Structure 1
Amino acid sequence: MIKVFRLMRPKLKFLAILTILLTIVQVLCFLFSPNLFGSIVALFSQIDSGKDIRINILQNVGFTVPTVKAAIMWIAIIFAAIIFVGAFTSLSAAYLANYVGIMHSRNLRNQIWDHIMHFSKREIEKFTHANLITRFTTDIQRVRHSVTNILRTLITGPINMIFGLVLALLINKNLSLILIFLLFPISIILGIIAKKAIPRFRRETKYYEDISLEAQESILGVRVIKSYNLEAQQENKFQEANVGFSDLIKSNYNMLNIGLSLIFLFANLATTALLATIGFINRGKIATKQEYQDIIREINIFISYIFVMIHGVLSSTMISFNIARGIRSSKKLFEILETSPSIKFIESDKKITNGTIKFDNVSFAYYEKNVIENVSFTLKPGETLGIIGPTGSGKSTIANLINHDYETNIGNVYIDGHNIKEIDTVSLNSAITYIYQIPALISGTIKQNLLLAKQEATEEELIAATKAACAYDFINNFSKKFEHELETDAANLSGGQKQRLSIAQGLLKMPKILILDDSTSALDLKTESVVKANLKEYFKAYPLTKIIISQKISSIMDADKIIVMHHGKAEAIGTHNELLKTSQLYKEIVAVQLGGQSE
């Protein structure tokens, strides 16, 4: 948690310190009360004495007044002042603690978001989407609660313990031995609870994550689960995790309740021992009413401080376990922040102006084994490259390297003669549009989705792009046209409609390089051919470098160059007609898909 506080902005650090100071004042106001109550008890014994009446704010710290009326007035004034200051500092500290926790969690969330936005695909795959979402929500929420609890409850607990013990010692050093003996069993109980509970609370967090993941997988895969009649199996799997989670929580809190009950037992035993000790020490010694009043006053004050200490111990213990959850969550957040992006954000004067692509003997491995090996080719502005091959042959990996989602292990990728590792990141992202097989559409209107590519796009540009992608007709059929609302993941569109809308979005950007990664897989052959023809017309004003990745021969057969990938290697490179003569694998694919037709 120290790292969490180090990340605080200066203003929040100042407010955090102010919160701690206000909390200390609040606790001290609370600690004045027992002595003032003692002064009230002493007041009754001095009514008929004719002597000056003493008012103690702390033990042996106070002042005298001549009359009972003056004593009552001063006690009332002091009580009112303590109540006012205590209430003001309590409310102020509570407000500031919540403010610091909320604002720091917001800043922390922004910082983590900015950091993740610089992650490459490698880091995203390492943490997984579900894991990152959990850290954005549950973990940051736990850290927020921990910060608030540290600034408030974790401060009040130790102060109550320390000042309660000190003030009790000032009242009667002999009786304070009872507190020391009380602290001994309490320390043992807390030590046992801490040793057993903290690891169990960590397991509780792990169970929570497992249940969340299980629920997410079941919800996302509900169609598959139903289609294979796996409802009972998934329910049993979820119930197993849920029951384990519930049993662990019950066990944890049963252990805490037993420990807390024992602490209260020892506190009551200490009170009994206190009364017995006072009775034993003073047997036969108390002769006057004044002496009786003094003993009663000391007993009241001393018992008050016993329970002040117990309150400090209990509050510190309970909050410590909540903070243990926050510590685990903070470690997970810092795991993200301390992970350096494998691909750095580059600011340079090397920009993309044309779209020439060159692979120079490129090899790449996600883990140990190469996914692509010794791939070389050159693509000029305005040319189209088709990439085809069996599943897992490395087709999409080539596109990912062009998009700089990964860096090569061997060899280099050049765009416009610049090593891709040295190209300005903003220029690279602006020049390349990558349209995926599964579109990444957000909830909102169709227009909002399209404007992600070009915020200042006009109505005419939206119509032109959607017509080129064969999306305008189905959009025009909606009653609200471009203002039609999309559900999460565009669930109210068909697969083909999603792909066409995603293509239209990419066209609005007017990139130098367009990558279509199986982006027309859900389209029929007729619609696909229309989209291909429209793309040529749409970009006729300037040369567009285009990479088409597909399993379908019809998608890539018109390309200027075609790469046939097999086991991570470029098995052959050429035009459609050239490959029919030189590549056995290509001929087999054509034979299967086109029935042996070569044109």
Structure 2
Amino acid sequence: MLGAAIFMIIQVFCDLQLPTITSDMINRGVAIGNTAYIWRSGSLMLLLAFIGVLAAAGNVFFASTQAQQLGAKLRAELFRKVLYFGNFEMDHLGSSSLITRTTNDVLQIQNVTVMILRMMIQAPIMLVGAGIMAFISERKLTVVFLVSIPVLMIAIVSIMYFAVPLFKSLQKRIDGINLVFREGLTGVRVIRAFRQDHFEQERFKNVNRAYTQTAVKAFSLVSLMFPVMILILNMTNIGIIWIGGKLIATSRMEVGNLVSFMTYAAMILFSFMMLSMIFVFIPRAQAAAVRINEVLDTDFSITEIADPEKLPVQKSHTLEFKKVAFRYDHAENQALQDVNFHLRSGQTLAILGGTGSGKSTLVNLLPRLYDLETGQILLDGKEIAKCSQRDLRNAISFVQQKAVLFKGTVRSNLQVGKVTATDQEMWHALEIAQAKDFVKETQKGLDAVVEQNGANFSGGQKQRLAIARALIKPAAVYVFDDSFSALDFKTDAQLRQAMKTDPQTQKSIVIIVAQRIATVTQADQILVLDAGRVVGLGTHQQLKAGNQTYQEIMRSQLREEEL
């Protein structure tokens, strides 16, 4: 930034010297026919112009470099911050808005940074310097500025008064476009299936039209500034020539002084215009900065205590829920109430219940994606709220409802679970997850390409790859949140049997959230939820014999003879 300022000062100094040299060349060279003086003055002007060009290039280089580095730093900080957001922060800010803040808002900051390091430095120096030089050149003509500068200021303030609010609203309009466009992209199959393409096109057209209309108004107002500036400059030149002509006619001023004064007048007025342009775009960047700071200053809903406890490294593990209750933010009713159970290594807990009963909420509490309202969750005897989040999540391997794959290869996706995994470990995890066969069928095997969101795999294949990624990670607790829903009954049974006989999962605790009775019958314990309450806890045989909710779920899925 210091380099940008120094080069800009050099550039302005060279620019301010040129009108004075031109004046002297006219007065002492052209007027009396002194060719040698004209050549000397012309050579000096060329030298100053060349130095000015080099200085301008240096200023542009440093200004653009600083702006890009600032943008890179902001994007990195935003991405790092978002990675540590809990579900509450993500729900509050919204993914579409976060994308806008990381891209368009940062771009606004970068653009204004360049403008500050260019125009904000150049305009005040040039304004003061040109004013002083104009006064030195011919003080009698400065009376013209008493009219032109107030008129220019009134025009600039009037334009800014209407344009600034429009520029602030543009950022929110961009949020709206991103939201509709992102929903259209992610939900394109649903849109086609329900033949809602015309509705979505109209929806996008509305937000696009709103943005366009606001942008047209804002930039139309700003574009008025240049013709207004030219008009005032020309009127100023007319006044200067009119007064200067009378002074020249009475031999009270030289022609060269008139020429240099007109140049300085142009510099003064252009300096005002540059400042006004900055003050038009700064509010838009300020709005972007507020939105960026809103992300950077957001307090994490999931925090650690000052001196977190370390989870002990041990061969056997325990997991206990004690009177756990949870309520979503601003919700009237609790999502979970008085949940109690105890598990140890080698045991499998299946969680069963209707839609909205709190199954996913319960397992999301385990890696502290949400914090409890009341109660305790103990892992290996340690309360998870008092443990390091890194240690806690290292001890848990999680497969969420929606199978998420990253663009890359099968190998790179499995390495998300364990970076140092060998090929043998990868094939073993794929074999347990019943994904070995279709991965082997690809020509590249582990190096088979995975498109964005796993678009080149079916739903069942994506789930199995996500399960393999979880199984490759050594963990105390394996959580499968309705992760078998896209599998057929045969594959589901084979996968659960392979997990049951695998030495690694035998030493761990396995939690399976499921919808199907067939998936949970072999579990050591089955937790039945209804509207956030535990209405049953036991084995399949125990619940089948005496739990009404479990029996209703069985009747809804099995025929009479199967019952």
Bin for the TM-score computed over the shorter chain: over 0.9
Paired residue secondary structure (1:455): coil
Match of 2:169 among 199, 203, 208: 203
Pairing of 1:124-139 with structure 2 (within 5 A): 124-139=90-105
Q: CA shift at 1:245, angstroms?
A: 2.4
Is contact 1:352-1:415 (8 Å) kept? Answer: no
User: What one-letter code is carried by the residue in structure 1 that aligns with 2:219?
Assistant: Y
Q: How does 1:137-156 map to 2 (within 5 A)?
A: 137-156=103-122
Letter in 2 for 1:130: S
Task: Kindly indicate whether the alpha-carbon contact (under 8 Å) linking 2:350 and 2:512 is maintained by their aligned counterparts in 1.
Answer: yes
Describe how 1:33-432 pairs up with structure 2 within 5 A: 33-44=18-29, 47=32, 69=36, 71-72=37-38, 74-76=40-42, 78-280=44-246, 285-286=250-251, 294-344=253-303, 348-353=308-313, 354-367=316-329, 368=331, 369-432=333-396
1:465 Cα deviation (Å)? 0.8
Partners of 1:81 and 1:274 in 2: CA distance: 29
How far 1:574 sits from its partner (Å)? 1.4
Find 2:3's aligned residue among 18, 33, 39. Answer: 18
Q: In 2, Cα distance between the equivalents of 1:280 and 1:83?
A: 32
Task: Give the C-alpha shift of residue 99 in structure 1.
Answer: 0.9
Cα gap change, 1:306 to 1:46, in 2 (>3 Å): closer
Asked if the contact 2:302/2:370 (under 8 Å) is kept, the reply is yes
What letter matches 1:30 in structure 2? D
8 Å CA contact 1:388–1:551 kept in 2: the answer is yes
Structure 1 unmatched runs, 5+? 1-15, 49-66
Specify the alignment match of 1:485 in structure 2: 449
Deviation at 1:258, TM superposition (A): 2.9
Q: Is 390-399 or 580-589 further displaced after alignment?
A: 580-589
Find the aligned partners of 1:296 and 1:281 in 2 and give their Cα distance.
10
Return the alpha-carbon distance in structure 2 between the equivalents of residues 598 and 412 of structure 1: 39
Matches of residues 468-483 of structure 1 in structure 2 within 5 Å? 468-483=432-447
Matches of 1:570 and 1:103 in 2, distance apart?
Answer: 54
Q: Is the 8 A contact 1:29 1:85 kept in 2?
A: yes
Q: TM-score, normalised by structure 2?
A: 0.94
**Offset from partner CA, 1:94-131 (integer Å, 9 cap, x none):** 11111111112112222222222221121122112222
CA distance in 2, matches of 1:540, 1:146: 56
Q: Matches of 2:347 and 2:561 in 1, distance apart? A: 25
Cα displacement (A) at 1:281:
5.2
Q: Counterpart amino acid of 1:44?
A: G
Q: Letter of the aligned partner of 1:364 in structure 2?
A: F
Distance verdict in 2 for CA 1:144–1:253, change over 3 Å: closer
SS at match of 1:551: coil
Q: Deviations over 1:437-468 (max 9, x none)?
A: 21110111111111111122112111111111
1:57 alignment counterpart: none
Aligned to 1:9: none
Do the aligned residues in 2 keep the contact of 1:165 with 1:179 (CA within 8 Å)? no
List runs of 5+ in structure 2 lacking aligned partners.
none
- The corresponding residue for 2:15 is 30
Letter in 2 for 1:466: L
Judge conservation of contact 1:118–1:344 (CA < 8 Å) in 2. no
Instruction: State how far apart, in whole Å, the 2-side matches of 1:195 and 1:306 are.
Output: 26
Q: Per the alignment, in what secondary structure is the counterpart of residue 321 of structure 2?
A: strand
Q: Deviations over 1:481-511 (max 9, x none)?
A: 1111111111111111111111111111021
User: Could you say what secondary structure the match of 2:140 adopts?
Assistant: coil
Alpha-carbon distance between aligned partners in 1 of 2:560 and 2:513, rounded to the nearest angstrom:
21
Deviation by residue 1:20-73 (Cα, 9 ceiling, x = unmatched):
22212211211111001001001236747xxxxxxxxxxxxxxxxxx863x456
CA contact (8 A) 2:308 2:387 kept: yes
1:552 counterpart = 2:537: no
Code of the aligned partner of 1:306: A
Q: 1:219 to 1:349 in 2, by over 3 A?
A: closer
Contact (CA 8 Å) 1:446, 1:482: kept in 2 or not? yes
2:139 aligned counterpart, secondary structure: coil
Residue 54 of structure 1 corresponds to: none
Moved more, 483-492 or 163-172: 163-172
Pick which of 243-252 and 434-443 moved more. Answer: 243-252
How much does 1:142 deviate?
2.1
Deviates further, 307-316 or 504-513 = 307-316
CA, structure 1 residues 46+137, in 2 after alignment: closer, same or farther (shift >3 Å)?
Answer: closer
By how many angstroms is 1:383 displaced? 1.3
Confirm or deny: 8 A CA contact 1:352 1:427 kept in the other structure.
Answer: no
Note the C-alpha offset of 1:330: 1.6
The aligned amino acid for 1:323 is I
**Alignment check: 8 A CA contact 1:590 1:598 kept:** no
Q: Distance in 2 between matches of 1:21 and 1:261?
A: 32
1:279 CA displacement: 3.8
Greater CA drift, 39-48 or 390-399 = 39-48
Do the aligned partners of residues 117 and 222 (structure 1) sit closer, same or farther apart at CA in structure 2, a change above 3 Å counting? Answer: closer
Partner of 1:453: 417
Q: Aligned residue for 1:59? A: none
Query: CA deviation digits over 1:124-143, x for unaligned, max 9?
Result: 22112222222222222222
Q: CA deviation at 1:333?
A: 1.0
Distance 1:28 1:495 in 2: 67
- Which has the higher mean CA deviation after the structures are superposed, 570-579 or 248-257? 248-257
**Contact between 2:418 and 2:472, CA under 8 Å: does it hold in 1?**
yes
Alignment match, 2:470 = 506
**Mapped partners of 1:118, 1:535: distance in 2:** 31
Distance, in Å, in 2 between the alignment partners of 1:257 and 1:590 is 70
CA distance in 1 between partners of 2:460 and 2:106 (Å): 38
| Partner Cα distance (2:27, 2:248) in 1 | 19
Percent identity, please.
27
Q: Name the CA shift for 1:176/1:45 in 2 (closer, same or farther; >3 Å).
A: same
* Root-mean-square deviation over aligned CA pairs: 2.1
**Contact 2:148-2:236 within 8 A present in 1 as well:** yes
1:370 and 1:576 mapped to 2: Cα distance? 27
Amino acid at match of 1:356: T
The 2-side partners of 1:162 and 1:364 are apart by 64
Specify whether residues 247 and 498 from structure 1 end up closer, same or farther in structure 2 by C-alpha distance, changes over 3 A only.
same
Assess if the C-alpha contact under 8 Å between 1:355 and 1:544 holds in 2: yes
Q: CA deviation at 1:161?
A: 2.3
8 Å CA contact 1:471–1:500 kept in 2: the answer is yes
Check 1:442–1:326 CA distance in 2 against 1; reply closer, same or farther (3 A cut). Answer: same
